[in-house]
């Protein structure tokens, strides 16, 4: 498996050439885009175009507006370098998450130090001028255009980028074109304000990051044929916030027809009930922006005009305030997202496309300790005693509390934290994948569910198949020094064949991997992507998911009442 991250300083340049690509790689041929000519590089027999602008820089008066057309250029744009990540806090978020992964991997202490020292967590370049995408293609001059796989990165809608981490030659060598994107994050991607709604012709505000994703999909429709891709066969796929984005794009009428298949990894959008103008589970988008204005000392009329003139440094404290930033996610605005995603799926109004979706066995083993509550949709903090555990289950799940509790080994105070960690993963990721599969298959659309169980190969690992682990085999990557064995290579080949075969035909089954049975309400089947082997089986955690249904239905009912 190829490593994609820089390592220790004495050999940083050499290893960057090996792990990242570039470093004198020959230039590709010049290709036309609607905005101007671009020239990328070649590596391992594929063509790589980095940092192509797909929209105008969202700065100045374009801060908090829908993405605008990029200014055309005449001279060839050398596309051999990734654009900066969209503005985000550094030193926390993804950096803390990656550090926790490394700590729980079973690596030796020296290997952990070596990786953290050389990888330079937190050193990424950030900017508001960030709306770029990247294209990796095995073929440019082809008689038969290739399926396009459009990747949306995760990071809680606050962190991350579509850059070097996802540069996978092994994935595209399965016969697909890979597109990865940046989109606005946090305060710049998802702040809603009544003045912004008033200036928008559709009354929309708060979903600028989603509109960036849609603009990038429109770029694909216009330009991807020149890169060997088929605009009539586009698969969106993403993980965590990117998985939520997949579900939300399936729910948005603005994205209809821009993609033809979807893969949602550890995210569905089913957890999001926030509205721009009404508080529901969190403060409203409007109240969040009012708090932003108050923190930087402005009020009254023309708040947005004043906020647009402020630097990112001035806004940084408000951007990271926990009470405020919890609202910086896609939200129901009546236009980009007309209703909660889960309700759109319940009504059968989502995009009618084939779908792969799933979650990991130990989603909460890192995220829970970063402050994620144990039950999605609840404000109750993590329990520490068995009395608090029982109270949490009773408060959130009512008459299903006992039915749910039997699925967790919580016999005393010492078991509570581990039980809450497992509950967090099931409630935020596993059950939503299950109910999304139920609703999508009930609407008559091909649906394939998976459950990822591969852990680090080290006997000393402590985090199981945690959140984001499935990204490694999908992209054929791993971190340098990560403990692996033969199973990792086998699993990567299996998952890449499933994902790319699905992108080609809407069904993941192929001759080089175990049979994957589709999901239906009568036969709720998942593909167990196991630690030792892969096989289809009945949904392993269906009992606990079903016990959580009532809480989801109550949340949906509450959201519907607010909209009436």
The answer to whether 206 touches 191, Cβ cutoff 8 Å, is yes
Cα separation, 67 vs 213, whole angstroms: 10
For 29-66, give one letter per residue: b (16+ CB within 10 A) or e. Answer: eebebebbebbbbebeebbbbbbbbbbebbeeebbbbb
Q: SS3 of 286, please?
A: helix
3-state secondary structure 384-414: CCHHHHHHHHHHHHHHHHHHHHCCCCCCCHH
Active site residues: 240, 363, 467
Q: Which residue from 542, 492, 494, 532 is spatially nearest to 516, judged by alpha carbons?
A: 494
Cα separation, 32 vs 228, whole angstroms: 12
Helix (H) or strand (E) holding 114: helix 109-119
3-state secondary structure 457-505: CCCCCCCCCECCCCHHHHHCEECCCCCCCHHHHHHHHHHHHHHHHHHHH
* 155 Ramachandran zone, left/alpha/beta (phi>0; psi -120 to 50): left
- Quote the tokens at residue 302: 């023309």
308 CB-contact burial (10 Å; exposed 0-12 / middle 13-18 / buried 19+): middle
**How do strand 132-137 and strand 177-181 relate by DSSP bridges?**
antiparallel
415 CB-contact burial (10 Å; exposed 0-12 / middle 13-18 / buried 19+): middle
For 491-510, give one letter per residue: b (16+ CB within 10 A) or e. Answer: bbbbbbbbbbbbbbebbbbb
The answer to whether 464 touches 458, Cβ cutoff 8 Å, is no
Cα separation, 235 vs 233, whole angstroms: 7
Nearest 5°: phi and psi at 2?
A: -80, 140
């Amino acid at each position: 498996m190829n490593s994609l991250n820089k390592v220790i300083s004495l050999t940083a340049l050499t290893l960057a050439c090996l792990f990242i690509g570039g470093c004198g790689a020959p230039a590709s041929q010049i290709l036309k885009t609607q905005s101007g000519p671009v020239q990328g590089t070649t590596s391992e027999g594929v063509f790589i175009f980095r940092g192509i602008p797909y929209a105008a820089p969202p700065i100045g008066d374009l801060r908090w507006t829908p993405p605008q057309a990029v200014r055309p250029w005449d001279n060839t744009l050398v596309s051999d370098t990734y654009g900066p990540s969209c503005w985000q806090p550094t030193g926390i978020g993804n950096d803390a998450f990656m550090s926790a992964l490394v700590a729980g991997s079973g690596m030796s202490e020296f290997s952990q130090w070596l990786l953290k020292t050389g990888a330079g967590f937190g050193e990424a370049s950030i900017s508001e001028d960030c709306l770029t995408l990247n294209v990796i293609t095995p073929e440019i001059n082809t008689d038969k255009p290739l399926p396009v796989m459009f990747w949306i990165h995760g990071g809680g809608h606050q962190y991350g980028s579509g850059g070097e981490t996802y540069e996978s030659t092994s994935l595209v060598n399965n016969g697909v074109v890979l597109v990865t994107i940046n989109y606005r994050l946090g305060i710049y991607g998802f702040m809603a304000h009544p003045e912004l709604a008033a200036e928008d012709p559709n009354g929309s505000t708060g979903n600028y990051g989603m509109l960036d994703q849609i603009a990038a999909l429109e770029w694909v429709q216009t330009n991807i044929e020149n890169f060997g891709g088929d605009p009539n066969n586009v698969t969106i796929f993403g993980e965590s916030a990117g998985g939520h984005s997949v579900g939300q794009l399936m729910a948005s009428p603005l994205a209809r027809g821009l993609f033809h298949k979807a893969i949602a990894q550890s995210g569905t959008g089913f957890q999001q009930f926030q509205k721009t103008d009404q508080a529901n589970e969190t403060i409203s988008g409007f109240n969040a922006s009012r708090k932003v204005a108050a923190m930087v000392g402005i009020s009254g009329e023309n708040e947005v005009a004043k906020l647009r003139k402020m630097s990112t440094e001035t806004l940084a404290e408000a951007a990271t305030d926990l009470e405020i930033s919890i609202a910086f996610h896609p939200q129901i605005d009546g236009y980009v997202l007309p209703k909660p995603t889960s309700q759109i799926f319940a009504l059968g109004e989502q995009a009618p496309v084939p779908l792969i979706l799933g979650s990991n066995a130990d989603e909460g083993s890192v995220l829970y300790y970063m402050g994620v509550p144990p039950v999605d949709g609840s404000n109750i903090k993590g329990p520490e005693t068995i009395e608090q555990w029982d109270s949490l289950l009773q408060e959130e799940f009512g008459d299903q509390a006992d039915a749910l509790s039997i699925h967790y080994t919580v016999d005393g105070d010492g078991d509570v934290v581990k039980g809450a960690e497992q509950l967090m993963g099931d409630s935020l990721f596993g059950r939503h994948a299950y109910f999304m599969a139920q609703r999508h298959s009930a609407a008559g659309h091909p649906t394939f569910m998976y459950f990822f169980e591969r852990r680090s190969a080290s006997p000393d690992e402590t985090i199981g198949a945690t959140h984001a682990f499935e990204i490694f085999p999908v992209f054929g990557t791993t971190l340098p020094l990560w403990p692996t064995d033969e199973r990792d290579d086998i699993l990567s080949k299996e998952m890449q064949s499933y994902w790319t075969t699905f992108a080609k035909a809407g069904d993941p089954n192929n001759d080089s991997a175990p049979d994957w049975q589709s999901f239906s309400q009568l036969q709720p089947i998942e593909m167990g992507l196991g630690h030792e082997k892969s096989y289809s089986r009945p949904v392993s955690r269906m009992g606990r998911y079903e016990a959580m249904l009532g809480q989801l239905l109550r949340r949906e009912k509450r959201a519907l009442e607010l909209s009436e």
